[in-house]
Structures are given as C-alpha cells and as structure tokens.
C-alpha cells in the first residue's frame, strides 16, 4: 500500500527502512526515506508504521 503518494513510498519500504536502520524519531526516518517532504499528509501513517515495526523489533529482541 502506498503511504506517500507524492514520492511513491510504500509501507513495505518504510518497514524495511525501520528494520534496517531503527530510527528513533520520524525526523530520522525522513532522512532515510523521503516521506512527508511535499504535502505532509503521510506523516501520521508513516509514524504509525514506524512505531509498529519498532515494537515488533523489541519483541523479537526479547525472545532471542
């Protein structure tokens, strides 16, 4: 699903970036993936996806 239509960024792209770089803030994510640089309507969805992935990463680290 496309999250950022302006830059054609999908949720898959955001999830992969979060898994790989583990950004601590939406500003850090925006340096990695160009979301929210035009109209900004995608910021909320991108933040939710980032938070979901970071939560999953912490759960996986606790199991290992």
- pTM of the shown model: 0.89
CB 6 within 8 A of CB 39: yes
pLDDT value at 61 more than 80: no
Residue 10, SS3? strand
Whole-number pLDDT of residue 42 = 95
pLDDT tens by residue, 3-13: 999 999 999 99
| Domain 2-63 part of CATH 3.30.365.10 | no
Question: Rounded to an integer, what distance in angstroms lies between the CA atom of residue 24 and that of residue 27?
Answer: 8
Whole-number pLDDT of residue 64 = 59
- Residue 59 banded pLDDT, cuts 50, 70, 90: confident
Positive or negative torsion for Cα 19, 20, 22, 26? negative
């Amino acid at each position: 699903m496309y999250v950022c239509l302006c830059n054609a960024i999908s949720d898959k792209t955001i999830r992969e970036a979060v898994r790989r770089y583990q950004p601590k803030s939406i500003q850090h994510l925006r340096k990695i993936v160009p979301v929210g640089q035009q109209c900004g309507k995608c910021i909320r969805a991108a933040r939710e996806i980032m938070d979901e992935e970071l939560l999953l990463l912490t759960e996986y680290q606790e199991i290992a």
